[in-house]
Structure 1
């Protein structure tokens, strides 16, 4: 009997509770359609002595069934929590991984800022320290203070110089909106210091970053989510782009925070005109490819990145953030189901290509 390729997907679980269950369910099904044996597992499911894995697959009723599976030929890492047990497993030589370990977001931002192939797309950034915000406000009208390891737009603070005062707005760790208007840069420093202390995540520095004016729509922030993935030939390819538009008055565009997703090309054409939209698109694609290549050189084999790209009021793209374990919900939100399905299938296609 011909060998059936076995793909394991490493993720967090507690009992039958998984992180991102909807996506992982679809990922397993996509792999099965490609003829592979695919299952989810976590660090506690590995039996090294007997070289077998307790794996989980979705049931038709919406639950999960588990049994012992053969050792995977290749593993896709979707684990998003840096717990010690995961870190030990990740750095062991037990599996062939489709994607290498990645660094903390703030380190990646600072690393890209030093690489001349991509540095012109990176807003000026430095690790937060007292006095940094005040110094940045002397040079830029907008400054962001953001956790180096945050997700979902939480704990990001925007400071904007408006006439003789400063307007601050941000969402805390629970996504609640905070706003303040202050008269002096010293007052801003004090406010930010308290924010950083209260919003500190387990293992992260904060970054102070040059703000980019993404207000191409009145009183709203919009940015582009670009998904670049390895295809079935193992080559980098932009799977799709979607625009996230923040709710009125919000400092971020995140869908968790009330933002909505809209199609990329029609949005750019409406704001900048068709001709200019084409130029911006080609630069966004170039930025995505160069970033993926640069990061893979640095960290080893990778298979996908979600890039948050801001297009400023002059039509200039800026790389805001890189995520090595990206979501792809933006395509479902805009109703582009073909791109959504392709975005789900590609990680398994690439994992199988590695076995060829």
Structure 2
């Protein structure tokens, strides 16, 4: 009788505390449903000498149980903290990973901006340095100052020209709101300098990015979260997308900041009509496929990407950010439970495809990866 395929999920843990425990539970159960042996583990759980893993699985009624498991055929990497022990394991060659090491947001933005296949979707972006804000304000009436290694809408500052003044608003590291008006670009530069110093996340840099007018509803920012994943045949496919609409007066659409998720077709049809909504959807799909292929060429085999896409008031689509370890809560929040279930199952389907076929792009050790 053929043995079950073994899939490991690498993540951060401390005791029985895990990053994103709810998602990990669902991912393990999706793998079980597909007939695989699946467990969660962290860097400290690997016994390379005996080729055994201390793995964790969800218990009925909550909590986790652990035991010794066989070596995985394929590992899905969901580790989000770049600690040295993780980085060492990630580059050790011990496992066949479904997804390759990725790079920092700034390097990815730079790579895409320089590639003619995808550059038209990338807003003008630079690493923050003294004088850069003033220079950008001469070209764009709206800017975003954001951490190159941030998530969840933290530490993002919006700078907008309002008449002869500038309005600055954002959320700090604790999601606290800040808003101020200043009279000139020099004052903006000074204010941003203080923000960057105080709101830095670990040792990351900040980016200065061309702002987009995403106010598709009065006093609200909206953007599109699109999920593109490998399917069970190893092919890229858009699983789904939804619109995230920010809270009234918020400078971001992030769901952590009080935003809400709305089905794409309903929202875009209301704003741009049926034909306009379909044109924007097609553009978003084209963008997602081209970006996925471009990044996979550069970094090696990948499994999924979450794209944050801005649709400006003229209906033009722009790439705001790409995330190689995306969430999928937008589908649950807008009530698309079939899409949500498929978004969880697909990483497992792809991992099993690799385990069965040993195909797909291998990991590439290239300069800049990781």
Q: TM-score, normalised by structure 1?
A: 0.99
Q: CA RMSD in A?
A: 0.5
SS at match of 2:202: coil
- Quote the Cα distance in structure 1 between the aligned partners of 2:111 and 2:208: 15
- Give the deviation of 1:3 after TM superposition: 1.6
SS at match of 1:28: helix
For 1:256 and 1:110, the matched residues in 2 are separated by 27
Between 250-259 and 195-204, report the one with greater CA deviation: 195-204
Q: Offset at 1:318?
A: 0.2
Name 2:80's counterpart in structure 1.
80
User: 2:69 matched to 1:69?
Assistant: yes
Q: What residue is the counterpart of 1:310 in the other structure?
A: 310
- What is the Cα deviation at residue 110 of structure 1? 1.1
The residue aligned with 2:274 is: 274
In the alignment, the residues of structure 1 paired with residue 6 and residue 105 of structure 2 have an alpha-carbon distance, to the nearest angstrom, of: 31
Matches within 5 A, 1:39-78: 39-78=39-78
How far apart are the structure 2 equivalents of 1:141 and 1:306?
A: 28
Match of 1:115 in 2: 115
Shift of 1:355: 1.6
Q: Match for residue 91 of structure 1?
A: 91
Residue of structure 1 equivalent to 2:174: 174
CA distance in 1, matches of 2:51, 2:283: 47
SS of equivalent residue, structure 1 residue 273: helix
Shift of 1:11: 0.3
Residue 48 (structure 1) shift: 1.1
Q: Secondary structure at the match of 2:138?
A: helix
Aligned residue runs from structure 1 range 1-356, under 5 A: 1-356=1-356
The gaps in structure 2 that reach 5 residues or longer are 357-370
What whole-Å deviation, never above 9, does each CA across 1:188-239 have from its counterpart, x for those lacking one? 0000000000011123111100001101111110000000000001000000
Q: TM-score, normalization: structure 2? A: 0.96
Consecutive unaligned residues of structure 1, counting only runs of 5 or more, are none
Q: 2: CA distance between counterparts of 1:278 and 1:74? A: 38
Secondary structure of the residue that 1:332 maps to in structure 2?
helix
Kindly state the Cα deviation for residue 49 of structure 1 after the two structures are TM-superposed. Answer: 1.2
Q: How far 1:285 moved relative to its partner?
A: 0.4
Total equivalences in the alignment: 356
Distance 1:203 1:37 in 2: 38
Q: Distance in 2 between matches of 1:57 and 1:174?
A: 32
For residues 225 and 321 of structure 1, the distance between their equivalents in structure 2, rounded to whole angstroms, comes to 10
Q: Deviations over 1:58-116 (max 9, x none)?
A: 01111101000000000000000000000000011100000000000111011100011
Distance in 2, Cα, partners of 1:354 & 1:208: 39
